[in-house]
Structure 1
Amino acid sequence: MKVKEVAELAGISVRTLHHYDEIGLLSPAATTDAGYRIYSEQDLETLQQILFFRELGFPLKKIKEILHNPSFDREEALEMQHRMLLEKQKQLEKKIRTIEKTIQEVKGERTMTQKEKFEGFDFSHNPYEEEARRRWGDQTVDEANKKTGQFTEADKNRLSDIYRNLTAARHLTPDSKEAQDAIHEWYVFLQRFGHYTPEMFKNLGQMYVMDERFTKNIDQFGDGLAQFMADAMAVYANQRTNEN
């Protein structure tokens, strides 16, 4: 199959396939004299694997390492992907139920507990690890991951409390006492998983608004929350820097 046919079949762009070829992730079996890429049946199987891994949030670099490993087993990989997608489905179903309950509450048909409002959200897993590694280095992220493995039920409850407080304070000015108290709790919590200097904390806040993935994820808790956190984190970091 030619590249355009593969792109239409898989629902991705031709440019994406060209990029996969350029980085050595998926190179077509052959190229015609005219320079057209020709994909084999095996290439399509590999592309399916890539798209499954991408759906699960794996970075391209990691996918390449997995697929190019001599011990790679396609059946084993499919079984793992199946388990992970089922888990993702469960989390999505929880979020759907939460938003349905929230709609009912907005209509005055029911009252939700604070805990119910955040069912289905789990920030113990960081889907943006590749970006963090690029910005802050492997050592910082590896240390954070090691600590994240010790994520307790109390940590999850604490995280939910922090986000509730931040959501409630987001209509205040970022330098207000309430906002700064809430963002201080966020700063302290992050130290549980790695050493964040005030400058790193401020830069992290900027990522919340510069990267639409972060913005979308955070704003699920309340419109404008990502921007509010970024502003409050900048104020907090600047105050701590001046104090020192």
Structure 2
Amino acid sequence: MPSKRSFEKKKSDAIAENEARYGEEARSRWGNKTVDAANEKLRGLSEQQWEEAQALGEKIIERLKQAMAEGNPQSAAAQELVELHAKWLRIYWPEGLYSPQAHVSLAEGYLAAPRFVQYYDSRAGSGATEFLVKAIKAALKG
């Protein structure tokens, strides 16, 4: 089945790209066991799950734009954004790894990493990463 092989290659390529870009940092921060488990979870996604994750990523960017337009990281739109982001993380993170504290910790790391700032700001507008982090903290730290 060429389609299945193509999809499996897509996942393998994504894992290889993530390892090349973030592997060293991720392994030093969270350990080999966690990163290997995340890679296995990604490898195990069905094509439907993969497509849902991609669509969710796009929805996060759209909701981030909407929430930023409101300007309030505690708004209903911002809270929905945080829920979508948490759902997206759970797709990729190994079972049992997600917690509100882990989510906040990851978000705080976004501001220290230019590639994350560039990722969100280039898609949702200048200041998007900072707004996302404020929304996550507002929702999950109380």
| Structure 1 match to 2:113 | 211
Confirm whether residue 179 of structure 1 aligns to residue 78 of structure 2.
yes
Change over 3 Å in CA distance of 1:176–1:217 after alignment to 2: same
CA apart distance, 1:180: 0.9
Code of the residue aligned with 1:131 in structure 2: it is: E
| Structure 2 match to 1:189 | 88
| Structure 2 match to 1:77 | none
| Structure 2 match to 1:160 | 58
Distance 2:23 2:68 in 1: 26
State the Cα RMSD in Å.
1.9
Confirm whether residue 237 of structure 1 aligns to residue 140 of structure 2.
yes
Code of the residue aligned with 2:27 in structure 1: it is: R
Moved over 6 A (4+): none
TM-score by length of 2: 0.72
| Structure 2 match to 1:54 | none
Q: Whose radius of gyration is greater, 1 or 2?
A: 1
- Per-residue Cα deviation, 1:5-39 (whole angstroms, up to 9, x for no partner): xxxxxxxxxxxxxxxxxxxxxxxxxxxxxxxxxxx
Distance 2:112 2:134 in 1: 12
Q: 1:198 aligns with which of 92, 95, 100?
A: 100
Helix, strand or coil at the partner of 1:205: helix
Would you tell me which structure has more helix in proportion to its own residues? 2
Confirm whether residue 147 of structure 1 aligns to residue 72 of structure 2.
no
Identical residues among aligned pairs (%):
30
CA apart distance, 1:210: 1.1
| Structure 1 match to 2:122 | 220
Code of the residue aligned with 1:192 in structure 2: it is: I
Distance 2:101 2:109 in 1: 13
TM-score by length of 1: 0.44
Distance 1:168 1:185 in 2: 13
Superposed, 1:4-19 pairs within 5 Å as: none
CA apart distance, 1:129: 2.9
CA apart distance, 1:227: 0.5
Count of residues in Structure 1 that have an aligned counterpart in Structure 2: 116
CA apart distance, 1:236: 2.1
Code of the residue aligned with 1:238 in structure 2: it is: K
Helix, strand or coil at the partner of 1:229: helix
Contact between 2:56 and 2:84, CA under 8 Å: does it hold in 1?
Answer: no
